[in-house]
Structure 1
Amino acid sequence: MPRRRMYRRLLVCALAALTWVSAACAVPQGSGGDTGNDGLVLAAAYEEESLHPLLGHGQEGASKIFDGLYDYGADRELRPALAAGRAHASEDGLTWTVPLRRGVRFHDGSAFTAADVVATYRSLADPRYAATVASEYEMIDSVRAVGDHTVRFDLAHRYAPLPHKLTLGIVPAESLDPGPGAEPEPLHTSSFGSHPVGTGPYELAEWRRGDRMVLTANDDYWGGRPAVRTITVVFAGDDNTRAQRLRAGEFDGASLPPALADTLRDLDGYRVVHHRTADHRAVTLPTRHPVTGDLAVRRALNHAVDREGMIDAILGGHGRPASTPIPPVLGDLHEPSSAFPFDRAEARRILDRAGWRTGGDGVRNRDGTRAAFTLLYPADDSVRKLFAQAFASDARAVGVDVSLEGLGWEAIEPRMARDAVVLGGGNPFEPDLVAYPLLHSSYGGDGYNNPGFYSDSDVDDALDRARTASSPGARTRAYRDVQRELRDDPGFVFLAFLDHSYVLRDAGWRGYRPVVEPHTHGLTWGPWWNVQNWTAAS
Structure 2
Amino acid sequence: MRKPAAAALTALALLAAACGGTDGGTAATGGTFTFALPADPGALDPAMGVLSVTNTVLSLAYDPLVHYSAAGKIVPGLAETWQVKPDSVTFTLRKGATCSDGAPLTASDVAASVNHIADPATKSPVYGVFVPVGMQAKADDAAGTVTLSMPEPFSFILESARSILVVCGKGVKDRSLLARGTSGSGPYRLAEAVPSDHYTFEVRKDYAWGPAGATAKDLPDKVVLKVVPNEQTAANLLVSGSLNGAALFGPDRARLEADPRIGKKVVASGNGQFFYHQGDDRPAHDPAVRKALTQAVDLKELAGIASSGTGRPATALTLEPRACPGDTVTGHVPAYDAAAATAALDAAGWRPGGDGIRVKDGKRLTLRLMYATTRGAGVQAAAEYLGAAWRKAWVEVKLNGGIDAKVSESLNSTQDWDVAWVPIGVTLPSQLVGFLSGPGAPKGANFAHLSNKRYESLVAKAGLVPSAEGCPSWQESESALFENADLIPVVENTVLQASKGATYEMQASLFVPTSIRLTEGG
TM-score in terms of structure 1 length: 0.80
Post-superposition shift, 1:407?
1.7
For the 8 Å contact 2:317–2:489, the answer to whether it is kept is yes
1:218-229 to 2 correspondences below 5 Å: 218-222=204-208, 223=210, 224-225=215-216, 226-229=218-221
2:15 aligned partner? none
1:355-504 to 2 correspondences below 5 Å: 355-382=349-376, 383-416=378-411, 417-419=415-417, 420-427=419-426, 429-434=427-432, 436-442=433-439, 444-445=441-442, 449-470=445-466, 472-473=468-469, 475-504=470-499
**Structure with more contact order per residue of length (Cα contacts < 8 Å, sep ≥ 6):** 2
2:273 aligned partner? 282
C-alpha distance in 2 between matches for 1:141 and 1:172 = 19
C-alpha distance in 1 between matches for 2:226 and 2:56 = 22
1:16 aligned partner? none
Distance 1:239 1:402, change over 3 A: farther
Distance 1:281 1:393, change over 3 A: same
Post-superposition shift, 1:234?
1.4
For the 8 Å contact 1:323–1:339, the answer to whether it is kept is no
Distance 1:126 1:421, change over 3 A: same
**Structure 2 residue 109 is the aligned partner of structure 1 residue 126:** no
C-alpha distance in 1 between matches for 2:117 and 2:57 = 17
1:23 aligned partner? none
What is the DSSP-based 3-state SS (H/G/I as helix, E as strand, rest coil) of the residue aligned with 1:391? helix
Q: One-letter code of the match for 2:353?
A: G
Q: 1:489-520, CA deviations, whole angstroms, 9 ceiling, x for partnerless residues?
A: 22223221111223322xx345x45x7x54x4
What is the DSSP-based 3-state SS (H/G/I as helix, E as strand, rest coil) of the residue aligned with 1:53? coil
Q: 1:166-188, CA deviations, whole angstroms, 9 ceiling, x for partnerless residues?
A: 1211112643436xxxxxxxx6x
Q: One-letter code of the match for 2:365?
A: A
**Structure 2 residue 67 is the aligned partner of structure 1 residue 84:** no
What is the DSSP-based 3-state SS (H/G/I as helix, E as strand, rest coil) of the residue aligned with 2:111? helix
Distance 1:530 1:391, change over 3 A: farther
Percent of aligned positions that are identical: 21
What is the DSSP-based 3-state SS (H/G/I as helix, E as strand, rest coil) of the residue aligned with 1:425? coil
Corresponding pairs, count: 474
Post-superposition shift, 1:322?
3.2
Name structure 2 gaps, 5 residues minimum: 1-27
2:20 aligned partner? none
C-alpha distance in 1 between matches for 2:256 and 2:172 = 46
What is the DSSP-based 3-state SS (H/G/I as helix, E as strand, rest coil) of the residue aligned with 1:160? coil
- RMSD (Å) for aligned C-alpha atoms: 2.9
Name structure 1 gaps, 5 residues minimum: 1-34, 179-186
For the 8 Å contact 1:334–1:479, the answer to whether it is kept is no
Q: 1:372-410, CA deviations, whole angstroms, 9 ceiling, x for partnerless residues?
A: 122222222213222222222222232323222322222
What is the DSSP-based 3-state SS (H/G/I as helix, E as strand, rest coil) of the residue aligned with 1:481? helix
1:162 aligned partner? 157
Distance 1:227 1:323, change over 3 A: closer
What is the DSSP-based 3-state SS (H/G/I as helix, E as strand, rest coil) of the residue aligned with 2:256? coil
For the 8 Å contact 1:139–1:157, the answer to whether it is kept is no
C-alpha distance in 2 between matches for 1:194 and 1:443 = 34
C-alpha distance in 1 between matches for 2:357 and 2:319 = 34
Post-superposition shift, 1:272?
4.2
C-alpha distance in 2 between matches for 1:55 and 1:410 = 16
Between 1:324-333 and 1:153-162, the stretch displaced more is 324-333
C-alpha distance in 2 between matches for 1:102 and 1:38 = 30
Distance 1:366 1:320, change over 3 A: farther
What is the DSSP-based 3-state SS (H/G/I as helix, E as strand, rest coil) of the residue aligned with 2:300? helix
**Structure 2 residue 291 is the aligned partner of structure 1 residue 299:** yes
Distance 1:56 1:249, change over 3 A: same
Q: One-letter code of the match for 1:534?
A: R
Between 1:206-215 and 1:236-245, the stretch displaced more is 236-245
For the 8 Å contact 2:245–2:502, the answer to whether it is kept is no
**Structure 2 residue 61 is the aligned partner of structure 1 residue 72:** no
TM-score in terms of structure 2 length: 0.82
What is the DSSP-based 3-state SS (H/G/I as helix, E as strand, rest coil) of the residue aligned with 1:234? strand
Post-superposition shift, 1:75?
1.2
Q: One-letter code of the match for 2:421?
A: V
For the 8 Å contact 1:212–1:235, the answer to whether it is kept is yes
1:534 aligned partner? 517
C-alpha distance in 2 between matches for 1:286 and 1:496 = 20
2:87 aligned partner? 94
For the 8 Å contact 2:105–2:169, the answer to whether it is kept is no
Q: 1:82-119, CA deviations, whole angstroms, 9 ceiling, x for partnerless residues?
A: 1112x3123xx223211111100100100001010111
